[in-house]
Amino acid sequence: MSTDTIVPQTSHVERHGYLFGHPIAHSMSPLLHQTVYDGLGLKWSQFPLDSLDMDLFLRLREDPKFYGASITMPHKLAILKHLDGLTPEGAAVGAVNTMFLREDCSTGKRLYIGTNTDVIGIRDSFYENISDPDACFHRRPGLVIGGGGAARSAVYALRTMMKASKIYLVNRNRSEVKAVIDECTARGYGDSLVDVSTVAQAQQLEGPGAIVACVPNFTPKTEDEKEARKVFECLLGKDHKGAILEMCYHPSPWTEIAEISQRMGWRVIMGTEAMIYQGLEQDKYWTGRGIHEMPVKKCHQVIAAKLSEARL
């Protein structure tokens, strides 16, 4: 057992899960899920397991009271070989943020299944906040800023769930964009992905309707970063004004990208929306309850209060 990991005490709850990753000190995941369980009258809890020790986690998940886990960086890929199956979303994105349990009907053996609820968090952030998606983003280009795992989830959501006609990729690093295009293509949803690398190219393109920003909050410093920001601003400046989901919400949900977007007439959706809706989707897998049974409004209130507290 790792000497660096504090293993939570779980005996006081009926069932327990973990948030497994590192670092996770600022995560609001346990708070979100506790709000859901309290609202459902369940004596359950999700405990933070701030660790790089995969072997430890694999031992802990054998506990009969374990119901599943949120899997975050750096384990979203490493966990794949320790699973018995994947949902279509988990297989398509190629990264897992959620482990849930099922039972083998013939043997009674516990099965560990992986999924990716980030795609649902992205999808629901738009549909729960935009009253007329046909006018806002359906059958228009989507735009993804970034080149990491969240960008892949965003491409999947835009392509398969949000009726994007094509998807623009804007990023400071061309090799990262190529990796996203290659991987999404290999997994079957990479058609009509466009690497937009220059302002001149952006000027010739139809304006996007839905944007997902998957980068940290920072002021561009290198030439590549400055060019990517100019490309983004060019696309923001098109006549059509849609909605942007700013996935970055720590340490503050109001970022440079959010500020620029609002100033240019775009509807800004906070990244906490994606966090809440992906978490509610996780709880559907873990509890078997529908989202209509969950305290959705209370979850929004609790997360908003926690953010306000953090800014004090």
Determine the Cα–Cα distance for residues 165 and 208; give it in Å rounded to an integer: 9
Determine the Cα–Cα distance for residues 109 and 118; give it in Å rounded to an integer: 28
Q: Which residues are catalytic?
A: 76
DSSP the chain: --TT--PPP-TTSSEEEEEEESS-TT--HHHHHHHHHHHHT--EEEEEEE---HHHHHHHTTSTTEEEEEE-TTSTTGGGGG-SEE-HHHHHHT--SEEEEEE-TTT--EEEEEE--HHHHHHHHHHTT-S-HHHHTTTS-EEEE--SHHHHHHHHHHHHHS--S-EEEE-S-HHHHHHHHHHHHHTT--TTEEE--SHHHHHTSPPPSEEEE-S------SHHHHHHHHHHHHHHTSS---EEEE---SS-S--HHHHHHHHTTPEEEEHHHHHHHHHHHHHHHHH---GGGS-HHHHHHHHHHHHHHHH-
Selection from 87, 173, 127, 133 nearest residue 274 by Cα: 127
